Amino acid sequence: MLAALLKDIPRAKVLVIGDAMLDRYWYGAVDRISPEAPVPVVAVGRSEERPGGAANVATNVVSLGAACTLVCMSGDDAAADSLTRLTQDAGVAIDLVRDKLVNTTVKLRVVSRNQQLIRIDFETQVSKDTRARMLERYLAKLPGCDAVIVSDYGKGGTGHIQEMIRAARAAGTPILIDPKGDNYDAYAGATLVTPNRKEFEQVAGRFTDNDDLARRASAMIERLQLDGVLVTRSEEGMSLFERGGGVMHVPTQAREVYDVTGAGDTVIATLGAAYAVKAQPRDAIRLANMAAGIVVGKLGAVAIDRRELAAAVQ
């Protein structure tokens, strides 16, 4: 079933909207401690840029073989130029709403000997006008897609999320949300929300066992009128809770956890591509779990390799 699903994905058309960012990596050696403060001195030898946030979700969708349109916001700066180039080179159709009043979100990671030493974030909140323009472009592109992914990183790019959900539901298009924050009321009516364990407990409270988790997830589904909740649980795998009482726990597929950066992006991208071809939720979860098990074995946020995933399925 998973092999057949993977073969179906190239006919999917996925719309991703949310908070895109540019991931920068500085790599270098540490040979001494600074005389100015007890911190390591990194002699940077090379640098790298990758699409991050919603842009990483979009590149994952394309890497799976599906077509993807990305609607996101940025500043009007060099980082936005880099983000556009990187996503276009990956095969994503990007619709970037530039705002001269903000800076493009950039996450800079300093790495030495494959160990992240520090992350430095550059970010500003999006304006109301830019959020309105994003909604307009979303509504214009919605009719041509098979599934919607909302990648919420709390940067303001999903300010009109309820309008997005209602429009997708009216069109009969599944809408999946990677959530943020301690209040999920804005996600009411979505097809699926995919919090990790920490995010879920921040909203629903700490759970003690699988039965307690099921009760809390069911309460969330009923209160927000969701079709389902998927809780990603790191080394404990994933747990899917569906309206009507369906429950599925999937053990992790990770052989070795090297870096969890971007794993959530890979999960929701795989789910969105699977939902776009009308896969059964449980098959979609299994495929997403396999994809996550592959990317956590790599450094930084990277897109899933379709050939690796196909090999894992086989």
Please give the positions annotated as active site: 265
Walk across the sheet containing 228-232 and list its strands. 93-99, 67-75, 13-18, 147-151, 175-178, 192-193, 228-232, 238-242, 247-250
Q: What's the longest Cα–Cα distance across the chain?
A: 62
List of residues 6+ apart from 222 with CB closer than 8 A: none
